[in-house]
Amino acid sequence: MSLLLGIAVGLVLGLTGAGGSILAVPLLMAALAWPMTQAVPVALLAVAAASALGSYLAWRKSYVRYRAAILMAVAGVLAAQLGLHAATVLPQSKLSLIFAVVLALVALRMLIQAWRSPEDSAVVRAAVEGDGEHAHGPICRLHPSTGRIVWTRVSALVIAMIGAVSGFLSGLLGVGGGFVIVPSLRVATELSMHSAVATSLMAIALTSFGTVGGALLQGRELPLMVALPFVFGALLGMSGGHALAPRIAGPRLQQGFAVLMLAIAVGMGVHAMSV
């Protein structure tokens, strides 16, 4: 069962490039009747493995900004410990309700992104970055000759804050945090989408591995008989999804996945409020 669940999560991750990890926790909870605190470490282990593979593939194409990824990971691992602690304090019903709200917000963002035309996207991007003589551009600039981030105190603080928010959500909810990192990097830096996704994958892999370690130190159990097949299935599914993705229309795929996430969010929210 855990192998099939992992394949499903990895397939979505490979097809959409993001979002599969956020389904890992509700799938484990529904299929194995686990509480969220038990599902989180297993989900994070699968997220870490899949993100590490994606980061390696992107590294070979020089898309990864590793200094930014490491900074986000350090801040993320520290913040994840707060998330792990909060997860043990909050009642299961409230934790599930928070997860449902986050899931719904991510799904709505994906729907808007999928329905937006290229012209609309350009207008939104121009509004964010500024235009003409009033343009200030992103906070974190890139060096024109090397394409690397120009490090200042402000840029370091911004990137660390992005990692901290992602890490807290990783510890609290067992999600990878790419839905936070990628759009934040796109707004705060001049990184391309390819580079933002690749840098996010490295940060998520490092943060997730660190968060799993923190969870084990806090006494959480990691059932290897379930975790290892789940991780293996996620890697298989991601490889298959990556191969199938070019054959499927991106916007339609994103819309279908977003609708699925909304349905899961509504179900989790109704169940949490009825407890």
Q: What is the pLDDT along the chain (275 residues), one digit of tens a residue?
A: 788 888 888 777 666 655 556 778 888 888 888 887 788 888 888 888 888 887 887 888 888 899 999 999 999 999 999 988 888 888 878 888 888 888 888 778 777 776 764 444 444 444 444 444 444 567 888 888 877 888 999 999 999 999 999 899 888 887 777 778 888 888 888 888 778 888 988 998 899 899 888 888 888 878 888 889 999 998 888 778 767 766 765 566 667 777 877 887 888 788 778 76
Instruction: Please tell me the predicted confidence (pLDDT) of residue 253.
Output: 66
Instruction: Count other Cβ atoms within 10 Å, centred on residue 78.
Output: 18
C-beta separation of 184 from 46 below 8 A: no
SS3 call for 216:
helix
| DSSP E strands, 124-240 | none
Instruction: Please tell me the predicted confidence (pLDDT) of residue 29.
Output: 84
C-beta separation of 39 from 220 below 8 A: no
Instruction: Please tell me the predicted confidence (pLDDT) of residue 135.
Output: 47
Which of 12, 43, 21 is CA-nearest to residue 222? 43
Instruction: Please tell me the predicted confidence (pLDDT) of residue 156.
Output: 94
Compute the distance between CA of residue 136 and CA of residue 131 in angstroms, rounded to an integer.
Answer: 8
Instruction: Please tell me the predicted confidence (pLDDT) of residue 234.
Output: 85
